[in-house]
Structure 1
């Protein structure tokens, strides 16, 4: 535990600065590739679902992005036209349509964000297991609290 409120607020301000800078990078990627920032968030959701081995339906994607049905359909149509996603029938339930990210979208993201990701990984390699666990715990806690705040009554 820190005894210094100054250090704690310095970390909060650094986290805010990182968030702003990453948002700027996401917006730059979107503009360069003819997308809306929400399109980039959708692609991230799809990559996260794929990495977790989870199916992604239009309904689930819309819920994760906070979009209504028509907005979700428009987003998926736009990403499909750009060649970033495809709609496929669920092989276990043919009535269900899944949204899958195309490898070209992954490669496009890797070409833009790859150098930053590599630098972050290099930075993390300088930390020992205990430090990595602290960083992971801190970021996980911030994420949990941010999600709770977003779900709180009156937050939208």
Structure 2
């Protein structure tokens, strides 16, 4: 383990942030009668939408590490609750994508909006170089965690 220098202090702080964000997400799930995986699914769907990508149930399941039956149950549950909708492809009626309903976005904004607003305000206090360093660090940690998750 590396020495307990300033780098490790930041690593410990990042871990604490991850724990707090997880707890914040869990509170949202509990208050809205959702499973934590439901919240992860909604986030994955919103991220795909923001990136201009369509999300099929299969792709969603892969992103969440769910099998086909688990993914179907998840999408059924979210659809029944009014959080998502299945949309048939106009060109290939066999292809179905999953989209987040605006009601789920509104619900999420009500809970996560204040936290996101505070984070944005904090980031506005940094100059372009500092923001680039923060982005690079977080992207690197995310990639390292993703690689670790893919390791046998």
TM-score category, normalised to shorter length: over 0.9
Q: Does 1:10 align with 2:9?
A: yes
Residues 85-135 of structure 1 deviation map (CA, whole Å, 9 limit, x = unaligned): 000101122110110100000010000000000000000000000000000
| Equivalent position of 1:72 in the other structure | 71
Aligned pair count reads 150
Structure 1 position 5, deviation (Å): 4.7
TM-score when normalising by structure 2: 0.97
| Equivalent position of 1:53 in the other structure | 52
Residues 3-55 of structure 1 deviation map (CA, whole Å, 9 limit, x = unaligned): x8510110000000000000000000000001000000000000001001101
| Equivalent position of 1:41 in the other structure | 40
User: Aligned ranges for residues 121-140 of structure 1 at < 5 Å?
Assistant: 121-140=120-139
2: CA distance, partners of 1:86 / 1:25: 25
| Equivalent position of 1:86 in the other structure | 85
Where do 5+ consecutive residues of structure 2 fail to align?
Answer: none
TM-score when normalising by structure 1: 0.94
Where do 5+ consecutive residues of structure 1 fail to align?
Answer: none
2: CA distance, partners of 1:59 / 1:120: 32
